[in-house]
């Protein structure tokens, strides 16, 4: 274990201890080679291991930390370096500025529904990237999720629970992970799978909405009993209030994730599709099916009738009363769709299934493209379809552009009328630039709501160009017609406000596909 007097590990100079937990110590450190602050975590392996077990756990942790370093996703903490010192693994990561979601729950209570939806999408994206790299987190919970100062939702502590290669319980009787967030199969002696992370995410999302885990009890025995036997999905108190319809997409997602049968839990892709579909249903005012809208069906493959990629699913276990909501047992025989088939009223093309689930009805590719990926429809990906509004600053900017277009076109008509009334004058000079600017503003007012990056860039470029032109014109106005100066100042401020609205807020940049996830 690190001594308080330790000054460096490898090339990293330890500056300040940031936190101590059961599985490690985190330090603020300085990287003199790259001249930057980093977070350095010493991973403490459980006591009581034999030398062979200790070496195996150390190597596994180092190996999976290196795999984590290959993950490139804004929702996963960036690993800069991995090293070994004094027999323990050390992981060098980006230094995040912010607080954990557990800290938020402890000091400010549950999060708003909109923020939990943002976190759900970000974490699903992060888990998809991690699982694709062959990394299972094994300890997804609010304490291991950072809400950064720049509004990122970041999953941290990869490599901490990774010493667990088999079950949740070590030979010394110590649980690796947090029991109230652990999947039931881990208490039944099975190794952690990617699907286990999805259960933990479902518990985490519930905790973010309610302020606590649904399986929190006064004793470890009570927690395990609740995880294995308590009714799932748990009831959300939000459902009983006026915001019940607003939380419907999250309710459906949590219900799908908290299936005790690991083979029926959705993968991150499928969970994102479920969340997007339920959001569309909510926005259209349709009642949520709590997961019943899921138009997926599994495809039999192998002796257990499922073929989940990257460790999703596994040997099918009858789920009994705890099957995933909205899924019904499928008929066996030719055309059977695996453990669960789509609800009545939905259809899937023969052979459309991939993995455990098939594409939504009518989609020709066999799997609906996830927004934000190649093949997704709409101008920008990773977000809800255009037509369902956007961040408030985008709406305000669109309104301001529309008002600007109206003013400019009226002004253009006035100048054109004056020019027609005085053919010998010079009245046509401002008509064409004002008219062109007005037409562009009208086009941009509608275009920004489509999330087009082309329109986004054009708006910023044109508004900045116009602002520069107005600024230079103000020098002439100040000398010859100072009484008009307030009008030019107002015009300059108006255009700069539009630029600020579409350029500064992180959510707006994310709306057009630049930066973190848009809510």
Q: What is the pLDDT of residue 288?
A: 60
Highest mean pLDDT: which of 35-49, 140-154, 357-371, 402-416? Answer: 140-154
> Bigger pLDDT: 202 or 339?
202
Residue 417 — pLDDT band, cuts 50, 70, 90?
A: confident
List, for residues 227-277, the tens digit of each pLDDT value: 999 998 888 887 666 666 888 999 999 999 999 999 999 999 999 999 999
Q: Which residues pair with 476 in a beta bridge?
A: none
Q: Please state the pTM of the whole predicted model.
A: 0.55
Q: Is the dihedral of CA 340, 346, 350, 351 positive or negative?
A: negative
* pLDDT confidence of residue 284: 82
Report the range of poorest mean pLDDT among 11-25, 26-40, 91-105, 295-309.
295-309
Tell me if residue 88 falls in helix, strand or coil: strand
Question: Is residue 16 predicted with pLDDT exceeding 70?
Answer: yes
Each residue's pLDDT tens digit, 294-314: 433 333 333 333 334 434 544
Is pLDDT of 199 > 90?
A: yes
Our answer to whether residue 139 is catalytic in this structure is yes
- Please state, in angstroms and rounded to a whole number, the distance separating the CA atoms of residues 230 and 129: 31
pLDDT value for 57: 80
**What do you get for the CA distance between the two ends of the chain, in Å?**
42
Q: What distance in Å separates the CA atoms of residue 133 and residue 69, rounded to the nearest whole number? A: 10
Please state whether the peptide bond connecting residue 281 to the residue before it is cis, i.e. omega within 30 degrees of 0.
no
Q: Sorting pLDDT into bands at 50, 70 and 90, what band is 519? A: very low
Average pLDDT on 302-327 reads 38
For residues 36-51, give the mean pLDDT. Answer: 85
pLDDT tops 90 at residue 5: no
Q: Which of 77-86, 175-184, 404-413 has the lowest mean pLDDT?
A: 175-184
CA angle 275, 276, 281 (to 5 degrees): 95
Q: What is the mean pLDDT of residues 78-104?
A: 90
Residue 350 banded pLDDT, cuts 50, 70, 90: very low
Query: Which residue in 31, 81, 139, 261 is the catalytic one?
Result: 139
Cβ contacts of residue 100 below 8 Å, gap of 6+?
142, 143, 144, 145, 146, 147
Task: Report pLDDT digits (tens) over 489-502.
Answer: 998 999 899 989 88
Other C-beta atoms within 10 Å of 109: how many? 9
């Amino acid at each position: 274990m690190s001594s308080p007097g330790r000054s460096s590990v490898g090339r990293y100079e330890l500056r300040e201890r940031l936190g101590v937990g059961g599985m490690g110590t985190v330090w603020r450190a300085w990287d003199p080679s790259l001249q930057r602050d980093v977070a350095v975590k010493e991973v403490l392996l459980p006591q009581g291991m034999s030398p062979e077990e200790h070496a195996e756990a150390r190597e596994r942790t180092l190996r999976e930390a290196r795999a984590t370093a290959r993950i490139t996703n804004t929702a996963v903490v960036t690993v800069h370096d991995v090293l070994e010192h004094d027999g323990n693994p050390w992981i060098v990561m980006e230094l995040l500025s912010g607080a954990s979601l557990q800290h938020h729950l402890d000091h400010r209570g549950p999060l708003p529904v909109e923020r939990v939806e943002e976190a759900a999408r970000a974490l699903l994206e992060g888990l998809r990237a991690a699982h694709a790299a062959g990394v299972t987190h094994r300890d997804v919970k609010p304490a291991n999720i950072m809400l950064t100062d720049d509004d990122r939702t970041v999953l941290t502590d990869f490599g901490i629970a990774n010493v667990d290669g088999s079950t949740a319980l070590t030979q010394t009787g110590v649980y690796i992970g947090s029991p109230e967030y652990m999947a039931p199969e881990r208490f039944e002696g099975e190794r952690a799978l990617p699907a286990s992370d999805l259960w933990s995410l479902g518990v985490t999302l519930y905790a973010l909405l309610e302020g606590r885990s649904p399986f929190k009890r006064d004793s470890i025995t009570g927690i395990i009993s609740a995880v294995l036997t308590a009714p799932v999905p748990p009831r959300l108190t939000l459902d009983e209030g006026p915001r019940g319809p607003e939380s419907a997409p999250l309710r459906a997602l949590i219900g799908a994730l908290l299936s005790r049968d690991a083979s029926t839990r959705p993968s991150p892709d499928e969970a994102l599709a479920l969340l997007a579909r339920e959001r569309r249903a909510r926005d259209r005012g349709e009642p949520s099916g709590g997961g019943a809208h899921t138009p997926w069906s599994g495809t039999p493959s192998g002796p257990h009738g499922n073929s989940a990629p990257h460790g999703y699913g596994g040997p099918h276990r009858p789920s009994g009363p705890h099957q995933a909501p909205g899924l019904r047992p499928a008929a066996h025989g030719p055309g059977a769709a695996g453990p669960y088939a789509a609800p009545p009223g939905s259809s899937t093309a023969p052979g459309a299934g991939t993995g455990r689930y098939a594409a939504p009805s009518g989609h020709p590719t066999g799997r609906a493209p996830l927004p934000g990926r190649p093949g997704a429809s709409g101008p920008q990906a990773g977000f809800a379809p255009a037509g369902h509004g956007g961040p408030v600053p985008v709406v305000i900017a669109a309104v301001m552009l529309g008002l600007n277009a109206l003013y400019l076109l009226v002004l253009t008509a006035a100048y054109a009328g004056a020019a027609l009334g005085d053919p010998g004058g010079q009245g046509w000079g401002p008509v064409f630039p004002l008219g062109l600017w007005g037409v562009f503003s009208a086009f941009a007012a509608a275009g920004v709501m489509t999330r087009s990056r082309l329109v986004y860039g054009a708006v910023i470029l044109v508004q900045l160009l116009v602002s520069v032109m107005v600024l230079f014109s103000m020098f002439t106005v100040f000398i010859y017609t100072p009484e008009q100066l307030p009008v030019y100042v107002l015009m300059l401020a108006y255009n700069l406000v539009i630029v600020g609205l579409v350029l500064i807020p992180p959510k707006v940049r994310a709306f057009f596909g630049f930066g973190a996830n848009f809510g």
